[in-house]
């Protein structure tokens, strides 16, 4: 099983370059970074995990800039977002960022897409909360028009683009209804999420991985009903705190990659956390 990591990189933590080099040397599969543009001080959105919102949420580095640094000092390490708040981006600009990072990294980028939880943050970007899922789907459609091999126009509910010359292109070729880099959708299990995954993604990025035994049959059924190749579905548990038993359970469910959570800390603490994860990377975890 491939072991990747995620971390809230901030202005106070280990740097992207130091971490990426360490991950590649140790044989980790990838580095996934979260995104928050800002955290409004006056807000009513509760922190999904409960309690006070941790300090790092308001200090996160831009994931595309940080992953660009990571790409420049590695050759094999996977690079991903967990997740990109696509509704909060101009899709033409975002398409360029994604395609550039994927091109420069040799196709190592995974686009983790999500819908967000902070209503106030999204509102400052002009996002109407009740339509954010439809907006994300529209953003994906527009970006894929720009990634097409031939100039392709797109007219959507929330945006449009003329048939255009737009390079570079993402490395991975189209597969089924999906084009562009590997795309995973984050969110809680349910018919709406599974419909989105089947429509425009390669799979699911479930936080923590709890409840997969119950949820996966429903996702696989929706996937088959959509005419997707059963063997192509990817499920990547995210922000996991691994144990041998947990990883064995995931493997029994057909999971091939897990993203472990690192602390949002300085170099000494992060390297200590990597030491603890190393046995799982080496296949000797207990």
pLDDT mean values, one per 10 residues, the chain (286 residues): 97 98 98 98 91 96 98 98 98 98 98 97 98 98 98 98 98 94 97 97 95 96 97 97 95 97 98 98 77
Which pLDDT score is estimated for 43?
84
Distance CA 221, CA 214 (A): 12
Distance CA 109, CA 31 (A): 10
Cβ-contact 178, 201 below 8 angstroms: yes
In 3D space, the residue among 200, 64, 226, 207 whose CA is nearest the CA of residue 133 turns out to be 200
Distance CA 36, CA 159 (A): 23
Distance CA 118, CA 164 (A): 34
Which pLDDT score is estimated for 285?
62
Which pLDDT score is estimated for 286?
53
Which pLDDT score is estimated for 283?
86
Query: Any residues with CB less than 8 A from the CB of 103 and at least 6 apart, and which?
Result: 168, 169, 170, 171
pTM: 0.96
Cβ-contact 72, 106 below 8 angstroms: no
CA gyration radius, the chain? 18
Joined tokens for residue 211 = 């409840």
Cβ-contact 119, 130 below 8 angstroms: no
How many helices (H) and strands (E) the chain has is answered by 9, 11
Which pLDDT score is estimated for 233?
98
Distance CA 186, CA 176 (A): 20
* pLDDT tens, position by position, 243-284: 999 999 999 999 999 999 999 999 999 999 999 999 999 986
């Amino acid at each position: 099983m491939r072991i990747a990591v995620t971390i809230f990189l901030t202005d106070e933590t280990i740097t992207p370059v130091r971490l990426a080099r360490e991950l590649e040397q140790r044989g980790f599969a990838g580095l996934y970074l979260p995104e928050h543009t800002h955290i409004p001080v006056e807000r009513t959105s509760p922190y999904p995990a409960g309690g006070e919102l941790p300090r790092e949420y308001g200090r996160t580095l831009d994931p595309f800039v940080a992953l660009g640094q990571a790409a420049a000092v590695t050759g094999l390490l996977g690079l991903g977002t967990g997740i990109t708040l696509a509704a909060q981006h101009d899709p033409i600009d975002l398409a360029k960022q994604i395609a550039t990072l994927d091109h420069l990294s040799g196709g190592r980028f995974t686009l983790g897409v999500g819908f967000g939880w902070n209503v106030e943050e999204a509102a400052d970007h002009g996002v109407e909360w009740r339509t954010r899922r439809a907006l994300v789907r529209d953003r994906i459609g527009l970006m894929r028009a720009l990634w097409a091999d031939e100039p392709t126009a797109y007219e959507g509910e929330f945006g449009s683009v003329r048939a255009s010359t737009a390079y570079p292109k993402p490395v991975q070729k189209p597969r089924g209804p999906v084009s562009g880099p590997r795309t995973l959708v984050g969110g809680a299990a349910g018919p709406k999420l599974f419909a989105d995954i089947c429509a425009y993604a390669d799979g699911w990025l479930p936080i923590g991985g709890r409840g997969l035994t119950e949820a996966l049959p429903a996702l696989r059924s929706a996937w088959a009903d959509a005419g997707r190749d059963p063997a192509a579905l990817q499920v990547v548990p995210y922000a996991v705190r691994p144990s041998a038993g947990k990883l064995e359970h995931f493997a029994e469910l057909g999971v091939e990659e897990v993203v472990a959570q690192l602390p949002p800390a300085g170099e000494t603490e992060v390297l200590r956390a990597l030491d603890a994860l190393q046995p799982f990377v080496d296949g000797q975890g207990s």
